Amino acid sequence: MSTSIKKWIIVLFVIQLIIKLILSTSPYSSFDEREYIEFKNKTNAVPERGFLLEFLSYLFPSLLTGRIFVAIFSSFVVFLLPFVKDNIVSKNKLLFTSLIVFNPLFLKLSSMYLTDAIFFTFVVIFVYLKSKKMENKASLISCISILIRFEGLLLVLINFIDLILKKDKKNILIQFILLICFIPVIFKGFELYLTAHLKTTPEAPYLYYLITPFMIQGLLLVFLPYALIKQFGKNRIIDLIFVSFIFFYLVFHIGGTFADRFRYVLPTILPSAYYISGIVRRKLKSIVVIFLIFNLLLLLPLYDYRLFREYIKELMSEYHLFFKMKLF
């Protein structure tokens, strides 16, 4: 890799970290953030959203220190994404990385004391290790990710599917053994997690999960349908991540709010960036970059997330009512 690209990677790291630190000063705090802060004061609590961040609540007892930790930790994806071993990524290292790290939703969630950005970082690590054929390490990361969010089981499933298709019996056995080691730790929490979400009354039909991965791309939405058609099937791991994180929530009815639905499909920004990078040529690249820059304007309403969330909720409710009247 050339020296100029390495310098640009450092520039991207600094810029997106500064943005995250600014966003971390937002006066809005979510229910989950307050729960993490209060977790250490609970005597009989059982983690329902992942064990690792619950543990971190002891290390970072204040909202601001927790947000700063998440912002810094999630920023290191900049040093992994350009090195994912793939033909499409190798041709568009900086664009592929920028489409992910400057996604407004990723920037906002990386500035909040939540599990989403940390989990996404582990998804990136998993993809990086798989691309480098470090199967044992990828298997370990997939299991560790379960401690952050229980959707980490999807990474385990994706790894199993990939190894089975490769007929890699040795690494299938290693992944199975690792999963068994983690089962006693995750079983109760995963049970409570599913129970809590299945009881949630949804604000909109779960079919909205099918369009949410497109919506979180902001203005870049215009490129994604064509990119998906042209590039789907080029990378098995990328494709499995895109499909699994949509249909997992669709099938199990996880989450009942618009805000949750945006958060839960955050890992799909990685395959979305991959697909868009795959269709970019010299002239189109300039247009994509312009759209990406304008996309960052979404950070203005995202600073005070409460107002933005209410606006999206009202907008989606109107769309839901419109389509319901048209259909019925």
Q: What is the pTM of this model?
A: 0.85
Tokens describing residue 31: 């229910």
More confident residue, 233 or 284: 233
Nearest to 277 by CA among 285, 268, 269: 285
- pLDDT class for 43, splitting at 50, 70, 90? very low
Distance (Å) of CA 192 to CA 168, 195, 201: 34, 5, 16
Contact 249, 175 (CB under 8 A): no
Does the pLDDT of residue 72 top 70, yes or no? yes
- Mean pLDDT across 46-65: 67
| pLDDT reported for residue 45 | 47
Residues in CB range of 2: below 8 A, 6 or more apart: none
Quote the distance between the C-alpha of residue 252 and its chain's center.
Answer: 18
Tokens describing residue 241: 């991540």
d(CA 131, CA 317): 41
Quote the distance between the C-alpha of residue 142 and its chain's center.
Answer: 14
Dihedral angle sign, alpha carbons of residues 226, 232, 235, 239 = positive
Does the pLDDT of residue 199 top 90, yes or no? no
Q: Which residues of 91-122 are buried (b: 16+ CB within 10 A; e: fewer)?
A: ebbbbbbbbbbbbbbbbbbbbbbbbbbbbbbb
Determine which of 20-24, 91-95, 260-264, 307-311 has the lowest per-residue pLDDT on average. Answer: 307-311
Determine which of 17-21, 24-28, 140-144, 301-305 has the lowest per-residue pLDDT on average. Answer: 301-305
Dihedral of CA atoms 254, 260, 262, 265 in degrees, nearest 10, equals -40
End-to-end CA distance of the chain: 57
